Structure formats: structure tokens, C-alpha cells
Amino acid sequence: MARYQIHVCDGPSCGLTHGSEELVEALEKAIASDPALKGRVGVSCYTCYGRCDDGPNLFVETLGEGQAGDEEPEPEVLESQRGFYPGMDQAKVLRVLREHCGQDQVVEDLVDEY
């Protein structure tokens, strides 16, 4: 199965206005309690996707062999991988975690082009 890094925007709009830090906490808790995800999915903060009106936003990055995932993805990765999810709330984030990361299936009704 693939490995993933979930980059949650913590810019001024997503972080302060939209409460993205709560989404990070929900993701970390869900990953820690699921043996199938633990060690295969990581969570980190991302500076800003520039889609502030749509926030909070996140990007699910599919990691390559040996890639740690602790660095912010390059723009080419954001544009080439289907993993940008705008307008997230706790229920949507847990669904993305379950389906995109847990079942290796992009959540088509939530994903958007970056």
C-alpha cells in the first residue's frame, strides 16, 4: 500500500479563521488509533495554498520510495497529484483519511484541481 503525507494549511486564514489546527489534531488522533494507517500516513502543516476563501485546505501527497514527507511539496507535485481538498471540516477530513489514505482512493466528490 502507498504511503501518504497530509499537508494541512496553517496560514493566517486557514489556521486562525478556519481552525485548521483542530483538523490536524483529529487526523493525528485517528492515525494513532488505526494500526493500518500508523506508520503509513503522516500529518504536517503547510504554509499556504493561496486558496484562502476555500479553507481550510489540505493536500494528500503520495510519497515515493524513501521519501520522508516532512518537507512541503513542490508546486509540480501539487499540480500533478490528485490530492488537493478545499473546504475541509472534521467529518470530511476523516473521510479523506479513510478513503484516500486507507483505501488508496481519491475522494472524487471532495477533491479539486490545485
Q: What is the pLDDT of residue 12?
A: 86
Separation between Cα atoms, residue 44 and residue 20, nearest integer Å: 11
Give me 12's grid cell. Answer: 493566517
Report field, pTM of the whole predicted structure over 0.75: yes
Mean pLDDT of 25-39: 96
Q: What is the pLDDT of residue 18?
A: 76
Mean pLDDT of 11-26: 87
- The answer to whether 93 and 82 have CB atoms below 8 angstroms apart is no
The residue ranges of DSSP E strands in the chain, in sequence order, are 4-9, 41-46, 58-62, 84-85
88 vs 13: which has the higher pLDDT: 88
Specify the CATH number of the domain 4-101. 3.40.30.10
**Which residue, 67, 41, 55, is CA-closest to 9?**
55
* C-alpha torsion angle, residues 41, 66, 81, 104 (rounded to 10): -40
Mean pLDDT of 16-24: 86
**Which residue, 23, 21, 41, is CA-closest to 31?**
41
* pLDDT band at residue 19 using 50, 70 and 90 as cut-offs: confident
Mean pLDDT of 7-29: 89
41-to-7, 16, 36, 102, 106 alpha-carbon distances in Å: 11, 25, 9, 9, 15
Mean pLDDT of 62-80: 92
